[in-house]
Amino acid sequence: MTRDPNRVRIHGPLAVHALGFFEELTKRGYPPEGAVRHVQLLAHLSRWLEAEGLASGELTEERVAEFLGARRAEGYAEVPTVRWVITLLSFLPALSVAATIALATGPAEVVLEEYRHYLTHQRGLAPATVRGYVGEAKLFLSHLERPEGLDLSGLGAGEVSAYVVAQCRQRNVGSAKVMVTALRSVLRFLSLEGYTSHPLAGAVSAPSAMGGSFLPRGLSPEVVAALLASCDSTTVVGRRDSAILTVLSRLGLRAGEVAGLELEDFDWRHGELVVSGKMSRRDRLPLPSDVGEAVVAYLTGGRPRVECRAVFLRVHAPLTAMTPSNVTEIVRRACHRAHVPIARAHRLRHSAATAMLRGGASLAEVGQVLRQSRAATTAVYAKVDRVALRTLAQPWPEVHQ
């Protein structure tokens, strides 16, 4: 296969983007052969637009779907998904495809876009939280949408309560709690924007499980050591995974916070790390030597040289920042290699907290490291500090007969 994009014959409204598209793909880590193959797909799309009499500015999600249908009808063996093509085209800001595709197409989509903007710009929530809340809002609105449209003015507390009960019966306690929190948020938004005639957030009752019954389960020091030992330090992937596991287990960062770390967040001169967390908070944490050494081993030992400023990168093109789910997957794979029960990234956050308590840190100090704004959130770790709890136990009264 050719490695030269100039040998790809392309005409039509997208022809002017071909060379820039190839350059952007190679910047993102695509091998030349793969980048040329994607330029060929762009050429096919451009020919299709020309045949349909469409300009590049008329490229929408529906048009992409029509193009892929035509490609399938022509007998092409490789027909990607609409979302995959949209992701590729988003690498070209000059094409303005993303803005076209983002346009809402129905009443529910309009509400969801407004809600997403509210969460991002007014509440300042992290992108992963916004995605979760919008997903719950989409599910809720889908239950209210009717063939004639979406009318929220008549929504009442009874309908909200019935929805909550039905959802809680289908979910575990953790998922139900997330749903309840997100639903209260979207109902506050709907009331604020005048979609509902009166506030309904109070109609969302909490799941039946006691709020204080949660017992954080951290991994033992032996298991954490096994996870770190399972990483092959002779490979780039092993050094990256070891650095991520070290950050998780020593600093108690969330998966999204690890994925969001950028090169500028490390203040090597002062031995500090800047963490961007919930509610757009930016906190400075001391950088332990073992964390610094693990990160440096990855940065100097094979991290790709790309324009992306994220610390931890994917190993396959496009070489972009990792997602929170990527970070959790690294923990899962390490558990598999170490032959220990599968755990999620958040278990290492609990491990960091319990390790600090075992080392003599107070609950207030643990809360500072975990960047928890409410003392009650950190107080739950007192349940697992059994050594400290023993001092509170009273002797069993003697029975005199």
Q: What is the percentage of the chain residues whose pLDDT exceeds 90?
A: 21
Q: How far apart are CA 285 and CA 271, in angstroms?
A: 9
- What residues contact 130, with CB distance under 8 A and at least 6 apart? 116, 119, 120
* Confidence label for 166 from pLDDT (cuts 50, 70 and 90): confident
Amino acid at 192: L
Nearest to 310 by CA among 281, 280, 276: 276
* Confidence label for 237 from pLDDT (cuts 50, 70 and 90): very high
Check residue 384 and give its pLDDT: 56
Q: CA-based angle 347:348:354, to the nearest 5?
A: 90
Tell me: the pLDDT tens digits for 49-80? 888 888 877 777 778 888 888 888 888 777 77
Q: Above 70 in pLDDT, residue 380?
A: no
Check residue 90 and give its pLDDT: 77
Section 332-351 average pLDDT: 90
Specify the 3-state DSSP secondary structure of 293. Answer: helix
Section 115-124 average pLDDT: 84
Q: Which residue has the higher pLDDT, 387 or 304?
A: 304
| Cβ–Cβ under 8 Å, residues 170 and 194 | no
| Cβ–Cβ under 8 Å, residues 186 and 133 | yes
Section 213-224 average pLDDT: 76
Check residue 300 and give its pLDDT: 94
Check residue 107 and give its pLDDT: 67
Q: Report CA dihedral (319, 325, 326, 329) to the nearest 10 degrees.
A: -160
Check residue 387 and give its pLDDT: 47
Q: Above 70 in pLDDT, residue 355?
A: yes
- Do strands 272-276 and 282-286 pair parallel, antiparallel, or not at all (unpaired)? antiparallel
* Confidence label for 100 from pLDDT (cuts 50, 70 and 90): very low
Nearest to 279 by CA among 126, 122, 127: 126
Q: Above 70 in pLDDT, residue 117?
A: yes
In the 8-state DSSP scheme, what is residue 290?
H
Q: Above 60 in pLDDT, residue 124?
A: yes
Tell me: the pLDDT tens digits for 192-205? 888 887 888 888 87
Check residue 230 and give its pLDDT: 96
Check residue 183 and give its pLDDT: 92
Helices (H), 92-172: 97-101, 107-117, 127-142, 157-170
| Cβ–Cβ under 8 Å, residues 207 and 198 | no
Q: How far apart are CA 45 and CA 277, in angstroms?
A: 40
* Confidence label for 209 from pLDDT (cuts 50, 70 and 90): very low
| Cβ–Cβ under 8 Å, residues 100 and 171 | no
Q: Which residues pair with 267 in a beta bridge?
A: 272
Output phi, psi for 398, to 5 deg: -75, 145
Q: Above 70 in pLDDT, residue 33?
A: yes
Instruction: Record the tokens describing residue 96, joined without a space.
Output: 């303005």
Q: Distance between alpha carbon 397 and the CA centroid of its chain, in Å?
A: 53
DSSP 342-382: ---HHHHHHHHHHHHHHTT--HHHHHHHHT-S-HHHHHGGG
DSSP 299-349: HTTT----S--BSSB-SSSS--BPPHHHHHHHHHHHHHHHTS----HHHHH
Check residue 214 and give its pLDDT: 53
* Confidence label for 207 from pLDDT (cuts 50, 70 and 90): low
Q: How far apart are CA 287 and CA 244, in angstroms?
A: 14
Check residue 376 and give its pLDDT: 57
Q: What is the percentage of the chain residues whose pLDDT exceeds 70?
A: 82
346 to 129, 245, 268, 341, 362: CA distances (angstroms): 15, 11, 26, 14, 21
- What residues contact 160, with CB distance under 8 A and at least 6 apart? 183, 187, 200, 203, 204
Best-predicted range by mean pLDDT among 34-48, 66-80, 146-160, 268-282? 34-48
Nearest to 2 by CA among 57, 60, 43: 43
**Long-range contacts, 154-160 (Cβ 8 Å, 24+):** 154/197, 155/190, 155/196, 155/200, 156/200, 157/200, 157/202, 157/203, 160/187, 160/200, 160/203, 160/204
